[in-house]
Chain A
Amino acid sequence: MKKVFGILTVLLVGLTVLSGYFFQAQLSPVLALIFQTGLVLFSAAGLIGIGYLLVLHIRRVIRGEKRIIQSVVLLIAFLIALIAGFVLTPQSTLYRDLILNVQIPVEASLLAVLAVTLLYASLRLIRVRGWTPMSIAFLGSAVFSLVLNSGLIQVSETSLGGRILAFLERLPLVGARGILIGMALGGLVMGLRYLLSLDRPYGGE
């Protein structure tokens, strides 16, 4: 019985939204309601996810498991952000500085570490992948893109060199288009499987 409810819900919502692509004007109020409900549901789901994260770390603290200090720090940081957010509001400059001056250094530094890691990976590229058409094309394209990005080669677009350069610059576009079409086909199949309830990620098996 619960399986039937799930299937009916998926079909009803999915078909209505799909119809909205064709009958936008006529279905506007219904789509607005669906959007409104989805907005609230996504937010509730996000809060539930945060709750699971907190429960995990609280359990770790209570049981005295490994790396308890990190969990305590996490919980304290959460409480500070939560209380400050309700007291100061997200529009407050102080609150904005509190959040961004932790997020930006940490995330940007993680990205900076990636630069060194990519450098090391570049050295081992051929050793790992070998001399295959794909690896040769990869290498050539990477070097060409890096040269172009660095501005070392600057030619007029109307010249022959410029046109050849423009042609070579469009080559990644070919593969990107094929990948995008492939991804779209995969997304289409996946979406249809969800709508037709061939796959039920929401349960109801």
Chain B
Amino acid sequence: MTISDYIWSLVGFLLTIMVLSYLVGDNFFFRLAVHLFIGLTAGYVAVLLVRQILLPQLVIPLVNGSSPQRFWLVLPLALVLLLLVGQIPKFSAAAIIPLAYLAGLAAAIVIGGAVFGTLLPQSRSILDAFDPGRWYALPEQTWLRILDAVVMLFGTVGVLSYFHFGRKIKRESQNDAGKRPLILEGLGKVGQVFIGVTLGAVFAGIFSTALIALIDRLVFIGEMLTRIFGGL
């Protein structure tokens, strides 16, 4: 192990102890470690954005690029300048166009992804489960596949019924069954169960991930202590 590895390991060890001290309670060392992390990350991200994107994609082509490149870079340059000027409170209206640009871009990506990437394929998948060809592909699993298809359909519809799209849930209306059709209420109850099942699986996954991080940290601390006290 080189000196630099040793130094970095020591830094990591100290930071690990400082953050794990949060188990005892919020304290100065924990906050110090977190602020150090934030500052370092902010500096790194600034370097990344400038060196990886702004310089090679905007500044250098404007300076050294060909005429077509320079011509087409007028648009991003103008929008960036508007965005910067818009940070001055007096000229905040200047930021509307670049922000509208980003909003339009994000909205289109979200719509395209939601419709073509999730809604259509997932709905098709539910319908495909009722394909008789799939049922009889494995004869010993036919009834299981039929059951699977039915459960999938009712469970998905139940989960969607549980969501109140656009409706404000009022406390008094929760007891008033007359507001929604009974079938929707019943499907909503079924959906609750399936949502609980899914969230239980997600909870198990989150704990698994956190547990692996804990194991890694404990291994790291053990190795450091071994090095520190083993070297004595």
Partners in one complex: yes
- In the complex, which residue of chain A has the Cβ closest to the Cβ of B12? A105
The size of the chain B interface, using a CB distance under 8 A, is 119
- What is the minimal beta-carbon distance from A35 to any residue of chain B, in angstroms? 9
Give the size range of A's interface with the partner: 35 or more
User: Which residues in chain B, 199-232, are within 8 Å of chain A measured between CB atoms?
Assistant: 199-211, 213-214, 216-218, 220
Complexed CA–CA distance, A85 and B46 (Å) = 9
Whether A15 pairs with B108 at a CB distance below 8 angstroms is yes
- Give the contacting residue for A74; candidates B23, B39, B117; CB below 8 A: B39
Q: Could you tell me the distance between the alpha carbons of A190 and B152 in the complex, rounded to whole angstroms?
A: 27
Minimal beta-carbon separation of B5 from chain A (angstroms): 8
| B115 interfacial contact with A, CB 8 Å | yes
> When the two chains form their complex, are residues B105 and A178 in contact, meaning their CB atoms are under 8 A apart?
no
Q: Is A5 among interface residues, defined by CB-CB distance under 8 A? A: yes
B134 at the interface (CB under 8 A from A): no
- Known interface pairs A13-B105, A103-B37, A187-B111; A181-B15 also in contact (CB < 8 Å): no
**Residue B60 at the A interface, CB < 8 A?**
no
Shortest CB distance B63–A (Å): 15
> Which residue in chain A gives the minimum CB-CB distance to B197?
A141
A91 to B57, CA, bound (A): 18
Chain A residues, CB < 8 A from B117:
184
CB interface residues, A 75-100, toward B, < 8 Å: 75-82, 85-86, 89-90, 94, 97-99
Min CB distance A154 to B, Å, is 17
Across the interface, do A6 and B100 meet the contact criterion of CB distance under 8 Å?
Answer: yes
Q: Is the CB of A180 closer than 8 A to any CB of chain B?
A: yes
Q: Known contacts A142-B201, A172-B201; can you find 6 more A-B pairs with CB under 8 A?
A: A14-B105, A73-B35, A80-B43, A180-B118, A202-B95, A204-B96
